[in-house]
Amino acid sequence: MSFISSVFAYLYYFATLVLVVGLLNKIVQYARTPAPLKIPTTPAPITRTGVTLRMLREVVFFESLFRGNKWTWLFGWIFHFGLFLVTLRHLRYILEPVPVVITMIQPFGIYGGIAMVVGLAGLWARRFLVDRVQYITARSDHLILGLIVTIGLTGLFMRFFMHTDIMQVKAFYQGLYHFEFHLLPADPVLLIHLLLVAALLIIFPYSKLLHAPGLFFSPTRNQVDNARDQRHLAPWARRLEQQP
């Protein structure tokens, strides 16, 4: 067992712990945050089923972004769809046996990686070329975009130019399930790729990437537009009202 393999094994244990604990903490925080006002963005559905369908369209098609800015929607959708394919493709490294569906999408995962980088490049260029977006862009935004772009580029580089021992990589991650440290290939590009992925896992719960789970807790999206039919009370206000 090499020193590098041990370092990466402990790094991924730590990154996974930070990701899980951080996400759970934020989700609980979001769930406990009261919504004292009825503020769904109109036109809004008037039934819970309608809200569910609206959230589905928002998650899958980015409906509100499409209405707001077509170019941002295009690059954003390309990036997220590419990321979705790449994530599914990478499940073959941690699942055994590999589901048939994951096996079938392997050829498309390559195109997903290209789409992910292209979409991110468009979103990143927007932060330089659009004045109003440039004004609200922080250094952390550039760092996160650069991090994800580099992850995508190193992954594509290994696919097309510098191949690595995939079976050895899979054995390494499979061993982590049982706290067994297997040898990790010492390819420089692979190590950079894995190091950046671990960094992404660590910063995810403390960055703007939290819009992923945060979308489901947005009162402008998850509320029923029934203010005229039913009085809206936050839980804390309901408790005060019930006090004698």
Residue 20 φ/ψ, nearest 5 degrees: -65, -50
Instruction: Report pLDDT for 190.
Output: 93
The domain total for the chain is: 1
Task: Please compute, for residue 208, the number of CA atoms within 13 A of its CA located in the half-sphere on the CB side.
Answer: 9
pLDDT, one tens digit for every residue, the chain (244 residues): 588 889 999 999 999 999 999 999 999 999 888 888 888 888 889 899 999 999 999 999 999 999 989 999 999 999 999 999 999 999 888 888 888 888 888 888 889 999 999 999 999 999 999 999 999 999 999 999 999 999 999 999 988 888 888 889 898 988 888 888 888 988 899 999 999 999 999 999 999 999 989 999 998 898 888 877 777 777 766 766 666 6
The pair of structure tokens assigned to 15 is 């990154």
Nearest-5° angle of CA 145, CA 118, CA 140? 5
Asked whether the beta carbons of 95 and 63 are under 8 A apart, the reply is no
Cα–Cα distance measured from residue 226 to residue 229, given in angstroms and rounded to the nearest whole number: 5
Write the CATH number for 103: 1.20.950.20
Instruction: Report pLDDT for 33.
Output: 86
Per the listing, tokens 């991110």 go with 120
The pair of structure tokens assigned to 209 is 């990437």
Cα–Cα distance measured from residue 99 to residue 64, given in angstroms and rounded to the nearest whole number: 34
Instruction: Report pLDDT for 240.
Output: 66
Q: What are the DSSP E strand ranges found in 18-94? A: none
- Residues ≥6 apart with Cβ < 8 Å to 114: 82, 156
Q: Residues 103-144: pLDDT tens digits?
A: 888 888 889 999 999 999 999 999 999 999 999 999 999 999
Host domain of residue 158? 3-242
Instruction: Report pLDDT for 37.
Output: 80
| pTM listed for this prediction | 0.88
H or E element at residue 224: none
